[in-house]
Structure 1
């Protein structure tokens, strides 16, 4: 599963949630980062243990949180893992069939998170260095005439 950076996030959804959350946005994005890492790790661990049921809740959680930020490909992959895991639980089968999707999950999460965080914290415009009298100093630094 390969995505270009511009297709990893629905930027209109991202802008909407950013506006709705206002000052709380960065804190909530931090929760997404922390919860996402825990969910991806739990999914990987459940796969290693052959525990299909252990895939369901973390995949469901990641799906919902990713969709909230407009991370549609990540949400879709988490949903695929969740639904396949539910089917595996019903059929009492082991989760080897989701191996390829689980392997793709962490890199997709990390690339998506990097885009979200970069957009949430754009570089600020640099202001000229001010001297003691609050006027720009020629040459831009301390002690320069």
Structure 2
């Protein structure tokens, strides 16, 4: 259910603040997020938590700014675990399930956000969101 993936209060506020630039920012999120997920997966494959930290941090920040709550919190958990692994000279196996599910979570989240940015959704609700808050 998308209400578990998206914090609509944050999403609507960001969309309102960005106005017509929301779609462009969403495009950057698609590009950056795709790159970050790939870097996290690659770092997991070679057991390199240091490389995982930066990519997870970037994904977390961008996701949370758009209201992509579950994606942001998942990226944060990967980031924090990877940071601890760097400090303890350990490998990040404990987040393997999160990393394995990250691409699907990113894709599902992005699809919801892109639907929200659709001009058809904007026509249905000229106040800026196809979602009902509350």
Alignment RMSD (CA, Å)? 1.2
Between Structure 1 and Structure 2, whose CA radius of gyration is higher? Answer: 1
- Alignment of 1:109 onto 2:97: no
SS of the residue corresponding to residue 19 of structure 2 reads helix
Whole-angstrom CA distance in 2 between matches of 1:105 and 1:39: 10
Whole-angstrom CA distance in 2 between matches of 1:122 and 1:96: 42
Distance 1:23-1:123 versus aligned 2 partners, 3 A rule: closer
Please report how far the alpha carbon of residue 6 of structure 1 lies from its aligned counterpart in structure 2 after TM superposition: 2.0
SS of the residue corresponding to residue 123 of structure 1 reads helix
Q: Does 1 or 2 have the higher relative contact order (CA < 8 Å, sep 6+)?
A: 2
| Among 18, 36, 39, the residue aligned to 1:21 | 18
User: Larger deviation: 95-104 or 72-81?
Assistant: 95-104
More helix by share: 2
Give runs of aligned pairs for residues 1-145 of structure 1, distance below 5 A. 4-123=1-120
Deviations 1:45-102 (A, max 9, x none): 0001111111000000000000001011110000000000000001101122211110
* TM score, norm. by length of structure 2: 0.87
Aligned residues: 122
Whole-angstrom CA distance in 2 between matches of 1:43 and 1:78: 9
Extract unaligned runs of 5+ from structure 2. Answer: 124-134
Whole-angstrom CA distance in 2 between matches of 1:89 and 1:6: 34
* TM score, norm. by length of structure 1: 0.81
Extract unaligned runs of 5+ from structure 1. Answer: 126-145
Whole-angstrom CA distance in 1 between matches of 2:98 and 2:119: 31
